[in-house]
């Protein structure tokens, strides 16, 4: 008896979402983050207030004052921290904890030691310096100062804290000032959902509903960013589309088709729309197969899309006690959510009026632990330091097991994809891991679509010789490197580019165009 070959289904299209997608939403690029952190250090003769005003000049005076107090409080040169603590509302107990977790003075020294490229600090150089020294358990001389080995981890914690604080500030500002762009991304997500409906209706004619051939979306997403924005737009779009009055029926007898996402790890989400702490789980393939079992009328049939955070997310919290991973996505189903990012360690970036338990209420009040949220599994306290992020470093070391699980699943999805979409992701030459993953793709003739921005870009797709000619005529373009890298990895005839940027790639006459979204997904 001849055996049939086994070829499991995977999504044909994979979107690599990079900083170019977050930029129009108001988030700093890696280069801008490096410049802001460098500005916080500057020349030693400048005051902390002067450095803060230069680094985060576009933010409120209240936040600037809190930054000044925080940095002075975590600088060991200033001995009496009572005034800063009292202004921030931080207890002495919490102050002592923070000093053991974060070392601002050590980080400042390491920033000054790093080389500047045309006056700019590269975050990767800074992380490489810290991580190489940590792996060697070797301190670093900065002039006459010596950063001891035991100061390196607190210095690294401080760097990650600054990055997360900057992104949270930028989000808080963007939801007030950038509403139109946020709505455009949301409408784009609604169109993707509608396309997955249409796709599901077609697939249901030929495939069993509890197989991957039916229930997997034809696209998956790899978020190279730490912010949860693309996932949040998709979550809200599905939340609306899954309304029983909207969803189409599928199967026999017809039952409503609902759309969800699989995050490649069985993590819990802190309840979004309840006044007290509770736990809910995103969908996964185990649940989908049971809900779609043709032997049972479950009231709904489900399709899911793979969504990967291989670098972690600002919304992740790893419990220091039970080790479980929680995803924090705020307290309201709302595209322009006021509290999408987890609370941070200063009052203006916390949620002192949104405690969901007596423990959180006490932390925000008498202790000044503004970044604390309780683990939804065991109730232990988690803080900003428990946000697991993979940073821009060549010395990534050991990942937490769930990051490893996400990356392994993602690697297989990449190798099985037929179409890679670099959605604002520049595929930098120093990103060795992802270049290797794309090089190791299994299928022949894989297509690659680049969505990026060039001042001379037109509202159309360029491919083959036309794309090569554009790159040759624009040697200093920000798209040159990604274009040449893609041609090297996929071959000239398999690469095209849209160079008028995001959100123009899915917009037409001021509205999201379903046809333009289809064209982006279908490179034939």
Q: What is the mean pLDDT of the chain?
A: 92
Query: What's 202-258 look like in SS3?
Result: HHCCCCCCCCHHHHECCEEEEECCCCCHHHHHHHHHHHHHCCCCCCCEECCCCEEEE
Strand partners for 462: 497
Query: Residue 197 in contact with residue 241, Cβ under 8 Å?
Result: yes
Residue 396: the pLDDT is 65
Query: Rounded to the nearest 10 degrees, how much is the dihedral formed by the CA atoms of 345, 17, 329, 168?
Result: 30
Residue 429: the pLDDT is 65
Distance CA 51, CA 46 (A): 7
Distance CA 28, CA 378 (A): 35
User: What sign has the CA pseudo-torsion 417, 419, 421, 426?
Assistant: positive
Tens-place pLDDT, residues 213-256: 999 999 999 999 999 999 999 999 999 999 888 899 999 999 99
* pLDDT of 516 higher than 80: yes
Q: Is 429 exposed, middle or buried (0-12, 13-18, 19+ CB in 10 A)?
A: exposed
Per-position b or e across 256-268, b if 16+ CB within 10 A of its CB: bbbbbbbbbbebb
Query: Residue 130 in contact with residue 156, Cβ under 8 Å?
Result: yes
Give residues with Cβ within 8 angstroms of 82, minimum separation 6. none
Tens-place pLDDT, residues 371-407: 999 999 999 999 999 999 988 777 766 778 999 999 9
Residue 393: the pLDDT is 79
Give 136-179 as a DSSP string: HT--EEETTEEE-HHHHHHHHHHHHHHHHHHHHHHHHHHHHH-H
What's the whole-model pTM score?
0.95
Query: Residue 27 in contact with residue 227, Cβ under 8 Å?
Result: yes
Lowest mean pLDDT among 2-11, 33-42, 47-56: 2-11
* pLDDT of 263 higher than 60: yes
Cis peptide before 253 (omega within 30 of 0): yes
Distance CA 279, CA 95 (A): 31
Query: Residue 339 in contact with residue 254, Cβ under 8 Å?
Result: no
Tens-place pLDDT, residues 335-370: 999 999 999 999 999 999 999 999 999 999 989 999
Distance CA 512, CA 242 (A): 20
In the chain, which segments carry CATH 3.40.50?
A: 9-26+179-249+303-312+394-524
Closest CA to 266 of 275, 254, 256, 279: 279
Q: Which CATH code is given to the segment(s) 9-26+179-249+303-312+394-524? A: 3.40.50
* pLDDT of 440 higher than 90: no
Per-position b or e across 195-204, b if 16+ CB within 10 A of its CB: bbbeebeebb
Query: Residue 238 in contact with residue 261, Cβ under 8 Å?
Result: yes
Residue 430: the pLDDT is 63
Query: Residue 390 in contact with residue 431, Cβ under 8 Å?
Result: no
For 144-161, what is the mean pLDDT?
Answer: 95
How big is the chain by its Cα radius of gyration, in Å?
A: 24
For 198-219, what is the mean pLDDT?
Answer: 97
Angle at 75 between CA 81 and CA 103, to 5 degrees: 125
Of residues 516 and 437, the one with the higher pLDDT is: 516
**What does the block give as tokens for 496?**
């095209």
For 43-47, what is the mean pLDDT?
Answer: 80
Residue 228: the pLDDT is 97
- CA 481 to chain centroid, in Å, comes to 23
The pLDDT confidence band at residue 159, using thresholds 50, 70 and 90, is: very high
Distance CA 333, CA 456 (A): 39
3-state secondary structure (DSSP) of residue 498: strand
Residue count of the chain: 524
**What does the block give as tokens for 348?**
């203006």
């Amino acid at each position: 008896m001849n055996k049939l070959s086994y070829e499991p289904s995977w999504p044909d299209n994979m979107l690599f979402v990079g900083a170019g997608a977050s930029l129009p939403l108001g988030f700093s690029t890696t280069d801008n983050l490096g410049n802001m952190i460098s500005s916080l250090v500057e020349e030693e003769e400048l005051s902390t207030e002067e450095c803060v005003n230069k680094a985060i000049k576009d933010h409120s005076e209240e936040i600037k004052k809190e930054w000044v107090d925080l940095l002075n409080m975590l600088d060991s040169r200033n001995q009496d921290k009572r005034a800063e603590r009292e202004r921030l509302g931080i207890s002495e107990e919490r102050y002592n904890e923070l000093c053991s977790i974060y070392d601002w003075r050590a980080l400042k020294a390491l920033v000054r030691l790093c080389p500047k490229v045309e006056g700019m600090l590269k975050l990767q150089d800074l992380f490489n310096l810290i991580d190489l020294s940590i792996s060697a358990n070797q301190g670093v001389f900065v002039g006459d100062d010596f950063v001891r080995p035991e100061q390196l981890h607190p210095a690294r914690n401080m760097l990650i804290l600054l990055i997360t604080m900057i992104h949270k500030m930028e989000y808080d500002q963007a939801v007030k000032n950038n509403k139109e762009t946020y709505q455009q991304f949301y409408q784009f997500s609604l169109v993707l959902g509608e396309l997955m409906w249409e796709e599901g209706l077609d697939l249901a004619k030929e495939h069993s509903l509890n197989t991957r051939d039916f229930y997997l979306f034809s696209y998956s997403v790899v978020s190279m960013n730490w912010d949860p924005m693309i996932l949040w737009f998709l979550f809200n779009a599905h939340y609306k589309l899954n309304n029983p009055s909207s969803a189409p029926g599928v199967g026999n007898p017809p039952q409503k088709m609902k759309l969800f996402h699989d995050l490649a790890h069985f993590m819990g989400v802190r309840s979004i729309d309840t006044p007290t702490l509770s736990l809910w789980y995103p969908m996964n393939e185990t649940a989908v197969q049971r809900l779609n079992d043709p032997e049972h009328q479950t009231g709904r049939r489900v399709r899911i899309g793979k969504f990967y955070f291989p670098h972690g997310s600002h919304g992740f919290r790893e419990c220091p006690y039970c080790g479980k991973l929680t995803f924090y996505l705020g307290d309201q189903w709302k595209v322009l959510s006021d509290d999408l990012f987890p609370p941070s360690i200063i009052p203006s970036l916390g949620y002192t009026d949104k405690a969901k338990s007596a423990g959180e209420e006490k932390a925000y009040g008498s202790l000044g632990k503004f970044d604390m949220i309780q683990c939804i599994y065991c109730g232990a306290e988690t803080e900003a330091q428990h946000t697991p992020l993979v940073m821009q470093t060549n010395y990534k070391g050991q990942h937490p097991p769930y990051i490893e699980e996400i990356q392994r699943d993602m690697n297989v999805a990449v190798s099985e994809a037929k179409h890679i979409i670099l959605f604002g992701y520049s595929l930098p030459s120093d990103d060795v891991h992802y270049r290797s993953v794309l090089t190791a793709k299994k299928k022949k003739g894989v297509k690659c679509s680049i969505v990026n921005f060039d001042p001379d870009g037109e509202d159309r797709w360029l491919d083959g010789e036309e794309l090569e000619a554009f790159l040759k005529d624009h040697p200093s373009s920000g798209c040159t490197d990604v274009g040449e890298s893609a041609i090297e990895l996929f071959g000239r005839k398999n690469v095209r580019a849209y160079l008028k940027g995001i959100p123009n790639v899915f917009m037409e006459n001021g509205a999201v165009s379903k046809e333009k979204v289809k064209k982006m997904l279908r490179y034939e």
